[in-house]
Amino acid sequence: MSESFMTVTECERLHRDDKEWKDQVVKSLAELNNRLYRDNGHVSIQTRLDRGDRILGVLCWVTTVAGGAIILAAVAFVLRLIVLHARA
């Protein structure tokens, strides 16, 4: 079994590298959190998705109402044609 030793300078270097890596990860996570969930001077992705969802809901509602009106008008027109044709 071989024994290995680490010098103080090597230990400090490894500790410094590890701390820099951890700081970089924490900074990246904070930036990701700000972009996804917070509106800090710019619109977050969450807000964009919510706005898009609301707009899509309104467009679906408008399309349903317009489609219903068109179908109702078509049925009324067909019934009127049947009534006029029955009288003739």
Q: What local confidence, expressed as pLDDT, does residue 43 receive?
A: 79
Q: What is the pLDDT of residues 10-22, one digit of tens each?
A: 999 999 999 999 9
Q: What local confidence, expressed as pLDDT, does residue 77 receive?
A: 96
Q: Residue 40: which residues within 8 A CB-CB, separation 6 or more?
A: 34
5: phi then psi, degrees, rounded to nearest 5:
-125, 150
Confidence of residue 2 (pLDDT cuts 50, 70, 90): low
**CA-to-CA distance for 53 and 55, rounded, in angstroms?**
6
Is the whole-model pTM more than 0.85?
no
Which of these, 34, 33, 63, 37, lies nearest to 49 by C-alpha position?
Answer: 37
When the pLDDT of each residue in the chain is averaged and rounded to a whole number, the result is 89
User: For the residues 64-69, what does the mean pLDDT come to?
Assistant: 97
